[in-house]
């Protein structure tokens, strides 16, 4: 079933402590004066009390009720929000289709490349978990994503079993290139049998080159076998993402090798699942959308930057982990949203 949000999963939203104290005081005051008990307090009561106490406007109020998950805190996403929320950046999620009815998601469209399946709507939970990490909206409920104002698109390339043919995924990548998607998130992959950089899928690479040519960035999961980086992440045109835990240690399942470029939180990541619910999952699939979200923040801050330029910028601003410099476990280090946005 859906995982419950616990205090250990959440952090404050970056609201100054004195303002949070005011918020708590005014909610309690509202409970006593308006409703007589906490159980009877309505959202309208809280908004009225916030206005009276001058706690803040708009996003600050929404953020007071949207959970800021541990992963967002680890990558310093809330600090980056002062400069960018990813507004209007187009992010494609190539996966099993998205549930657009989830209240934390705003999906702007989609397409299916699964034979015999015309709809891009979900028939498997996986692709509804990915987009909220990228762009769950600030809506006074649920969780917040890395880039709360990015535009999500569903590209269905995996079937109801969560698997797909290379040709389906390639068609999805080419569609992203035609639609000039700014970022493509590929939390999927197939196994490889070597660390050799020269060995990769030519089909995926050709499609990735098309996306790069129009300025897009493809971000892909390295895989969960504690082994070789899989395709398409190992292809030169894709940014390979490894997973770390909430103590910034390499996740024991995360694939490693010379192809790994960057890492992000991927252990017990709480996100959306169909039916308006939330669930904690682990995998490089969960790490990848953290990176895609940061790329969206940078793109919104500097719209003229190409995906290739943003890719290198994320290397240069990463929080170095492990041995100094690039390594096989962490790449250049953990994605750092604040550094990336401020220096974009």
Strands annotated E in 38-177: 68-69, 90-95, 107-112, 151-156
Please name which of 217, 269, 218 lies closest in space to residue 243, comparing C-alpha atoms: 269
The token duo for 288 is: 């990848």
The reply to whether 95 belongs to the active site is yes
Report the run of H or E that residue 280 belongs to, with start and end.
strand 277-281
Please confirm, yes or no, whether 8 is among the known catalytic residues.
no
Instruction: Write out the two tokens for 112.
Output: 């299916």
- Do residues 200 and 231 touch, judged by C-beta distance below 8 A? yes
Question: Which tokens in the block code for residue 21?
Answer: 């104290």
Contact (CB, 8 A) for 254 and 243: yes
Q: Is 287 in a helix, a strand, or coil?
A: helix
Of the residues 102, 126, 313, 336, only one is catalytic, namely: 126
The Cα-based distances of 175 to 155, 168, 178, 260 in angstroms read 8, 11, 5, 25
Q: How far apart are CA 149 and CA 285, in angstroms?
A: 21
State both tokens at 147.
Answer: 């880039």
- Selection from 73, 84, 75 nearest residue 344 by Cα: 84
Q: How far apart are CA 26 and CA 24, in angstroms?
A: 6
d(CA 37, CA 44): 15
Catalytic residue among 9, 66, 95, 182: 95
| 285 included as an active-site residue | yes
Count of all residues that appear for the chain in the document: 344
Which one of 112, 285, 290, 336 is the catalytic residue? 285
Catalytic sites, residue numbers: 95, 126, 285
């Amino acid at each position: 079933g859906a995982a419950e949000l616990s205090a250990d999963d959440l952090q404050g939203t970056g609201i100054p402590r004195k303002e949070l104290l005011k918020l708590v005081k005014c909610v309690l005051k509202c409970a006593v004066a308006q409703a007589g008990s906490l159980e009877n307090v309505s959202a309208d009561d809280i908004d009225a009390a916030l206005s009276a106490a001058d706690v803040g406007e708009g996003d600050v109020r929404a953020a007071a009720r949207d959970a800021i998950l541990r992963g967002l805190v680890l990558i310093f996403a809330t600090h980056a929000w002062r400069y960018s929320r990813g507004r209007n950046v187009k992010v494609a999620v190539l996966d099993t289709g998205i549930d657009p009815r989830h209240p934390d998601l705003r999906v702007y469209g989609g397409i299916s490349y699964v034979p015999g399946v015309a709809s891009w709507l979900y028939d498997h939970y996986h692709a509804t978990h990915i987009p909220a990490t990228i762009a769950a909206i600030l809506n006074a409920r649920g969780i917040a994503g890395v880039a709360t104002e990015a535009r999500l698109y569903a590209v269905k390339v995996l079937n109801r079993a969560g698997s797909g043919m290379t040709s389906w995924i390639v068609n999805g990548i080419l569609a992203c290139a035609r639609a000039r998607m700014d970022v493509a998130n590929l939390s999927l992959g197939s196994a490889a049998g070597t660390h050799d950089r020269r060995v990769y899928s030519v089909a995926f690479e050709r499609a990735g080159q098309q996306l790069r040519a129009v300025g897009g960035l493809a971000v892909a999961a390295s895989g969960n076998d504690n082994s070789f980086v899989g395709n398409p992440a190992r292809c030169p045109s894709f940014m390979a993402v490894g997973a770390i835990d909430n103590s910034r240690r390499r996740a024991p399942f995360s694939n490693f090798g010379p192809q790994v470029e960057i890492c992000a939180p991927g252990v017990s990541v709480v996100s959306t699942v169909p039916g308006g619910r939330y669930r904690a999952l682990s995998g490089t699939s969960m790490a990848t959308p953290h990176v895609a979200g940061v790329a969206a923040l940078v793109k919104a801050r500097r719209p003229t930057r190409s995906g290739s330029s943003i890719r290198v910028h994320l290397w240069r601003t990463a929080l170095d982990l492990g041995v100094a410099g690039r390594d096989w476990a962490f790449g250049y280090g953990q994605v750092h949203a604040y550094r990336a946005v401020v220096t974009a």
